[in-house]
Structure 1
């Protein structure tokens, strides 16, 4: 695995995906991101490392366009602007990230053996929570009878 850190574009495959987006015509970028997310989100027997790493990068691009979104990656992500992404990609990205950390993910399997597994998992959780914020627990009202 050509990985140098836990960020969405901190591996060779995701950095190449950023380069592919830069080389693509503007109207091809959204379908490329959608295709990566759809491939990863589809239930399958196994999600390969390449599809998983691209999916994390694509999800980070969706997160970057949320209100108060931060850039996906200044160094290794796409340098060309990503067009405005449709809102339906948000839940597709959630589904893709769920598959990335599932028991059927080669990427999760590889990271489980790495020393900084927790940091990687926190990054995936952070992205997912930005896309689909957890519902805060409601305090139960106490009723006196």
Structure 2
């Protein structure tokens, strides 16, 4: 993972994902987010999780539409606006964040090894709190 900061889009994988969201037709952008989250949620806790950065980025985009959510203002996120997203993405995002921050997770390992694990986890926890507090259905 090429990273330059601990923000949700401040790594190569997440920045590329922002472009993928922009490339999707507006009516398919929610599907792009859902696919990213489902890929992470569908992994076994015993398996090593690669590319969890995409799930964090997807969760950050979903959280923008939640009460207390902050806009994604980084130049590395999607440039095009998101349509209103289905509320059922919120609990899926929470589950994905739980998996990304659990054992056998490459992003957790990389941030911890790089000395920024606590900062990164705090940012993900804040994102999770916004998503968990929002109605999910």
Give TM-score scaled by structure 1 length: 0.86
1:31 CA drift (Å): 0.5
Corresponding residue for residue 49 of structure 2: 47
**1:21–1:78: 8 Å Cα contact kept in structure 2?**
yes
Q: How does 1:14-93 map to 2 (within 5 A)?
A: 14-44=14-44, 45-48=47-50, 50=51, 52-93=52-93
**1:8–1:73: 8 Å Cα contact kept in structure 2?**
no
1:114 CA drift (Å): 1.3
Q: How does 1:66-145 map to 2 (within 5 A)?
A: 66-133=66-133
**1:63–1:72: 8 Å Cα contact kept in structure 2?**
no
Instruction: State the 4+ residue runs in structure 1 displaced beyond 3 angstroms.
Output: none
The answer to which of 69-78 and 92-101 deviates more is: 69-78
1:130 CA drift (Å): 0.8
* Gapped regions of structure 2 (runs ≥ 5): none
How many equivalent residue pairs?
Answer: 131
**1:22–1:79: 8 Å Cα contact kept in structure 2?**
yes
Whole-angstrom CA distance in 1 between matches of 2:119 and 2:7: 9
Question: Which SS does the other structure have where 1:77 is aligned?
Answer: coil
Corresponding residue for residue 7 of structure 2: 7
**Structure whose alpha-carbon radius of gyration is higher:** 1
Give TM-score scaled by structure 2 length: 0.90
**2:9–2:74: 8 Å Cα contact kept in structure 1?**
no
**2:59–2:93: 8 Å Cα contact kept in structure 1?**
yes
